[in-house]
Homo-oligomer: A and B are copies of this chain.
């Protein structure tokens, strides 16, 4: 089992390797990739060790090979299907962002309660009535969900998603959701993030 931090960095390495403009360089050294990712070379080598990829001294890592190797670890056999609940400002921003980007993650359904949004195709993705969650999530075997509904209904939405078989949730509502063991939850509250940044900003200002 790979640690959370390592998975995050692997995702970053892959992105950096695939987005690289210079397609001529076939291989890179650990310190080059590390520098792009803003980590130490030792960190990078350690991360590659856990996925079992091995380079060679004097040549480094074969870019294409390494990227594929990361894919085989991070991705399943087929692209993960993603549902997003709450097509408000944030929800639309995220869906259209994910659309624009070639990715292994496919947003295949969105949900809302607002009848001005349901039944239409928004940001390139069909928006269903919220009470179709069970039917569609279970029926299409969607395993990952993004929650961008107001915080007072977030727990209710999470419960429905879990009951429909969702195994991972990315939550943007500013409430700590309760999910059973076996469902992976990641919270992304703006306020917390901003307060953290503000705290350390102040801290470093006081030091100078």
Q: Give A contacts to B, CB under 8 Å.
A: 1-2, 4, 7-8, 11-12, 15-16, 36-38, 74, 76, 80, 82, 88-90, 92-94, 96-98, 101, 103-105, 143-144, 146, 166-170, 174, 176, 178, 182-184, 186, 188-205, 207-208
Contact = CB atoms under 8 A, between A and B. Distances in A.
A204 B12 contact: no
Contacts of A104: 195, 198
A198 B89 contact: no
Contacts of A82: 194, 198
Name the 9 nearest CB pairs between A and B, nearest first: A168-B201, A89-B93, A167-B201, A184-B200, A168-B197, A80-B198, A90-B93, A11-B195, A11-B192
A32 B176 CA distance: 14
For the residues of A in contact with B, the DSSP-based class is: helix
A124 to B, nearest CB: 13
A102 B93 CA distance: 23
A191 B90 contact: no
A74 B105 contact: no
A14 to B, nearest CB: 9
A8 B199 CA distance: 10
B197 A193 contact: no
B15 A202 contact: no
B15 A174 contact: yes
Given A167-B202, A168-B197, A188 B191 contact: no
Contacts of A204: 167-168, 182-184
Given A7-B200, A89-B92, A89-B96, 18 more contacts: A2-B199, A12-B189, A37-B176, A74-B198, A80-B198, A80-B201, A90-B93, A90-B97, A103-B191, A105-B194, A146-B194, A168-B198, A169-B197, A170-B193, A170-B194, A182-B204, A184-B200, A186-B197
